[in-house]
Amino acid sequence: MHNQNDQPFERIDGVFLPVKILNESINWYENTLGLKLLYKWPGGAGFQVSEGESLLGLIEVDDFKPALFKSKEGIMHYFNFKSKDVAKSREMLITRGVETTGSSMLRQLLPFPLK
């Protein structure tokens, strides 16, 4: 088993999501989710999530496929957001017009699916 000093990486620096229409997606992530737009480049954009170090990137693609995969347990997301108060975050998003398909209140790390 390796110790922390033997690991070649510090953290996940970024997660990149495919999007159909970049400018509309930038607007949604910035104004609906409240993420901070750090920079934009041809075909992409990078956001800061809260005060975290990891980047959330959007990449415009022609052949869009949702960021989901099927496991033995069902449909899974490639990543999820962490919230200090899931119920409050869910209510905030609903007031901003986001439709949710349910809620997972078992753990603070579990996502609630967005439509």
Q: What is the C-alpha to C-alpha distance for residues 52 and 109, in angstroms, rounded to an integer? A: 15
Count CB-CB contacts under 10 A for residue 27: 12
The mean per-residue pLDDT over the stretch 33-41 comes to 94
For residue 102, pLDDT over 80 is answered with: no
pLDDT at position 107: 37
DSSP conformation class of 1: -
For residue 115, pLDDT over 60 is answered with: no
For residue 4, pLDDT over 90 is answered with: no
The DSSP line for 27-43 is HIIIIIS-PEEEEEETT
